[in-house]
Structure 1
């Protein structure tokens, strides 16, 4: 079912490792043309385009795109008590972890009368995307909303696809969690069209453009986020999920297999990768995967994901080689199930979130660990990070020099401006000290 990549006895270069990394055949680039057409349609026709797209792509035409307050209140009232308790605990934990991500304001005195203040300013308005295709993700509401609130974002709009099973409404559990968090600007819209609506606004709906779009989604959502970047900010191109497990002979193959399946059930394009220096463990995990794939609830989806080119069992000579492969892969979720996880962790540079030991499965991070589950996928952890309070903050340097402090460096400014053939830069400083400049 799952392919095996045997790198034992080789010393691949960084470029060769990148080439050996398994990836899904469908990329964001392939989805770009479709996403661009959907965005252009929303820009041209607004609400009518969103309704038509819902009917075509979500198989239902919502009665209204903007969700009435009455529907949100109804969803909150109808939320299952056990789910509400779990959500409230998740909110509490994510709020604690997010608060730790807000950097303090720092003031630095460079010289007498020369002060630089580093402040972190939140964006004012954010569009939060919560997927709703093959599964429902109330946990993603928490992961998007809570860090934005902690950062101080004042205006939050949330979008999630209309559900054919709920008469074209946003899934009631998503509405309920949004209501619990105080988010009342909610839209029944999904996919690339929703991202375009956030970026450009839809005047007919009272939807103003946002400064930042965050949240996971399918490959078309990821493509849309790439297309609107520059018009608005994005967190990352969070597409189909992936998990990479580094394990040695000390790992329990049943647990490794269970964790790989837990992410494979998200999507046929989900990537599940085991990297190990133990051939017996690899064989045992493969056997457990074959069994689980036939018995798990979403068997067809899991089998497709595990059989795809994006999933593999990778054999390496040692754990140093395993870490090197993981760094090249840049996993969204990295589990380290080895006799000494900390030793392997010391070699890891690139990962969205890291889970250490047998009792820190990715499922924990998906829900109540306190960490955020909106993470970079498709190898983007090699250069970007997951969602956090910092995502919604912009560092700004505030410069405050007095007269004598500026005079002390005026000569340096004049010299540098002359060297760059930009004399007006120096003139702007010396003008402050010329005769009559201070009236």
Structure 2
């Protein structure tokens, strides 16, 4: 692994973001490639999806929608050990995601005037589960459980057709869907699946209705397709290649650190694995252990390519304080902390998709069973983005309710602000109600007087022909 020595250096956050090893993610360029494909799916529908399956997945599925019998059959033939592990994962993830649910709340702004905050699930979501270098039933769990906990009633899932399974998605993917009660599954892969979710597809009697939100991991072309359909639908994030950063000091176990760097490198030759440490001896020990640990795995070549690539490396720092500055600038998808007082150190980290604290909390635990979600922001976007959570399937809605007296108490200030913004009809709407309310209750016939009349006159004056901004 290449080394970057920051000892004795004072670099700005901007310089760190530029110089730290990072997997390349040119979503804009990928979007140029994907745009014609997305447009074809939108305008031509199902025939294009069959064509693209043959082109990219090397198989033409018999049907785009997976038959219910195939889903049930996959569960019936699932290895009992895998079924048990998936059931544990589902249970843990329901627990972990339930605590994310926001509570409705109401506040009394003034006597008789309230604002209620409530949360409503979207009506329908499209969940994408990749099927490239590996099979990800765990992604089925992460996406589906999160949506179900949020209260989403209509869930569609897409995963690429597999040649070795007759054009169906991988049977373990289908079995996971069966365990979760998802029966709308589509054999559609890649960017075309995102487009199909966004615009809908008719395939004979099988109809994929458009969704409200699309979530799920994928390659750069999936990320680019999400960028293109955002606005038509909501998306979780433009996720890129996976990454791990490990902040470690002399107390860390080098074998653990090496194994965890390798675990992420196993995903993809472009995966990023970065060690940040103030201990040269630890760096040397980790680097010495990597060849033998990598050799003992199934995907040795893929791992070594990832660890030796420009996106991976060891960053040497003066101390843990500087290390925290580095990892905050890096904003890793996954951040492990192997230091003394690891929990206290974790409290000082602001930017990470998810933080794994201590020597016995490896990232793979979060991938499967920890109860957290493994769909996380990559490429430094953890500075402003969150991992997949229930709020991405929810809409915040405010309900405002004021009584006659509550409005009357604020009408003057409302009119003042409306006049200051040259929107007199805004003020008039409140003043009119005040006058009519008084007339109905106390026999007054006048609606407004003095300057209030000027506000009403404004409805037919300066306000005519102006575009409102509210």
* Cα distance in 1, alignment partners of residues 81 and 159 from structure 2: 23
**Structure 1: how far apart are the matches of 2:298 and 2:15?**
37
Task: Supply the distance in 2 between the matched residues of 1:357 and 1:328 (Cα, whole angstroms).
Answer: 21
Q: 2:218 aligns to what?
A: 217
CA contact (8 A) 1:320 1:347 kept: no
Q: Deviations over 1:380-420 (max 9, x none)?
A: 11111111112211111110111100111001110000000
C-alpha separation in 1, matches of 2:221 and 2:74: 28
Partner of residue 130, structure 1: 129
The answer for the alignment partner of 2:109 in structure 1 is: 110
2: CA distance, partners of 1:149 / 1:354:
24
Separation in 1 of the partners of 2:107 and 2:292? 60
Which residue of structure 1 lines up, in the alignment, with residue 45 of structure 2? 46
- Counterpart of 2:181 in structure 1 is 182
Structure 2 CA distance for aligned equivalents of residues 282 and 28 of structure 1:
33
- Given that 1:272 and 1:311 are in contact with CA atoms closer than 8 Å, whether structure 2 keeps it comes out as yes
Counterpart of 1:302 in 2: which secondary structure?
A: helix
What is the alpha-carbon distance in structure 2 between the residues aligned to residue 436 and residue 367 of structure 1? 61
Residue 169 in 1 paired to residue 190 in 2? no
Residue equivalent to 2:18: 19
CA distance in 2, matches of 1:435, 1:369: 60
2:459 counterpart residue number: none
Matching residue of 2:232: 231
* More displaced stretch, 229-238 vs 428-437: 428-437
Partner of 1:327: 328
Superposed displacement of residue 438, structure 1: 7.3
Q: Do the aligned partners of 2:404 and 2:437 also contact (CA within 8 Å) in 1?
A: no
Partner Cα separation in structure 2 for residue 193 and residue 343 of structure 1: 45
Q: TM-score if structure 1 supplies the norm length?
A: 0.97
TM-score by length of 2: 0.91
Q: How does 1:61-72 map to 2 (within 5 A)?
A: 61-72=60-71
Rounded Cα–Cα distance in structure 2 between residues aligned with 1:430 and 1:206:
52
- 1:87 Cα deviation (Å)? 0.7
Asked if structure 2 preserves the Cα contact closer than 8 Å seen for 1:25 and 1:309, the reply is: no
Pairing 1:294–2:295 present: yes
1:437 CA displacement:
8.9
Which residue matches 1:77?
76
Listed as ranges, the matches of 1:32-431 within 5 Å are: 32-204=31-203, 205-431=206-432
Residue 436 of structure 1: CA displacement? 8.0
SS in 2 for 1:120: strand
Moved more, 338-347 or 248-257: 338-347
Consecutive unaligned residues in structure 1, runs of 5 or more: none
* Structure 1 residue ranges, 4+ long, deviating more than 4 angstroms after superposition: 435-439
Aligned residues: 438
Cα deviation, 1:92-113, whole Å, max 9, x if unaligned, reads 1100111100011111111111
Q: Secondary structure at the match of 1:128?
A: strand
SS in 1 for 2:116: strand
Task: Specify the alignment match of 2:435 in structure 1.
Answer: 434
